[in-house]
Structure 1
């Protein structure tokens, strides 16, 4: 599959290490990459790594939970850079056990993963349609395949992202725009922080490189790693009672 040649990109959505590793990888291809954060100081380690690697990341202050401000900021950036070719909406991770449901944290997660994703991608969509080219990317998760124990808000929010991106792709067929939904599995660095060790995990740099190649190749869907993706697809066809038993043991 032939790769697209993009000039400009915006990577936004949350303080996601995977998203920022993706920004570094894309910048390494020669792309002009804007990377967003609610607090610019959060980006300093990545800006330093970019400079040390001989590439440049352009920081953008953006809070997707403040929807109207975020949309205005994206439109201003689109105009200033002569048109964004690629826009990636990431998300955030949070466990939410139904036995002690953390409403405030769940609300923030849904605002970021659901409302923030729609606000960000829909802001630039009309201009991409006018130009007849552009690429929208939503970062879902393998947790979107089925509702996982302890991750009700997260699994639900990522299932929304998956279906939203699929509907966009159907609507935008034959417009010149591309739509990609990425389904990452467990990331090694994240679970190391959480004190866990799980099979079929990916290093975040490796995951970002795989994701970047899939995006530039214009893949509609990309799930990784393949072993975990295959397992989750198998879970999709199980009857509810059997899945419930397995899901409880997975948590």
Structure 2
């Protein structure tokens, strides 16, 4: 794949965790980064940190749950900055959605952010990227996309949607000049994982995960899975017959 020079980037969910880390990582490598999220004060703190390091991160108040408004704002931004080279759909939420105690409000909240919001972010300026014959869209899925995790039906399904969505885009956009990358993180220290009350094997430090992710994106990798100690068995679990998987998942639960 031909090298691509990146000038501008949009990262959603940039107020904390992987999104914040990636926005700062890209800015330190010379990109003009638009850090999007709902918590403006945290975005402004990120911008100040970047400025102190001689980099440029511009806060962008954006709520991907308001899909139509978010798409309109991203298109405006694309015009204002002379074209977005990189769009990273990172904003995401988790939460327990157990089949025996399923609550539509929780399910819908996850779908609104992880499915509708992510798809809206990725497609907002994709037609313009195709016209320009340059650009890169990145979706942050999860290793949870490979199988339905016990107690997390909505989260696993939302990340499976994003993974399949990115795969189809990758096939469609081959030869168009537009790159497609899907990232499958395991457990990474963040505000979201801090709320988990279950074991998180091979929990990664945020900086280490960001380094892997950033380098892979700039290389133009089509898929990124990490950490390998969790990614490898997770891929193998995908081919387990359902009775074996169901029994193992119940024991882990």
TM range (shorter): over 0.9
2:227 alignment partner in structure 1? 225
1:39 alignment partner in structure 2? 39
Matched, 1:239 2:241: yes
Pair 1:101–1:234, CA change in 2 (3 A): same
Provide TM-score, normalisation by structure 1. 0.94
Provide TM-score, normalisation by structure 2. 0.93
Q: Report the 3-state secondary structure (helix = DSSP H, G, I; strand = E; otherwise coil) of the residue aligned with 1:198.
A: coil
Alignment check: 8 A CA contact 1:144 1:159 kept: yes
Alignment check: 8 A CA contact 1:14 1:92 kept: no
Alignment check: 8 A CA contact 1:9 1:32 kept: yes
Residue 4 of structure 1: CA displacement? 3.2
Taking the aligned partners of 1:46 and 1:136, their CA distance within structure 2 comes to 23
Tell me how large the CA RMSD over aligned residues is: 1.8
Considering Cα pairs closer than 8 Å and 6+ residues apart, tell me whether 1 or 2 has the greater RCO.
Answer: 1
Taking the aligned partners of 1:101 and 1:194, their CA distance within structure 2 comes to 18
Taking the aligned partners of 2:250 and 2:100, their CA distance within structure 1 comes to 13
Alignment check: 8 A CA contact 2:110 2:154 kept: yes
2:144 alignment partner in structure 1? 143
What is the correspondence of 1:151-190 to structure 2 with a 5 Å cutoff?
151-189=152-190, 190=192
Taking the aligned partners of 1:86 and 1:156, their CA distance within structure 2 comes to 25
Matched, 1:54 2:61: no
Runs (4+) off by over 6 Å: none
1:9 alignment partner in structure 2? 9
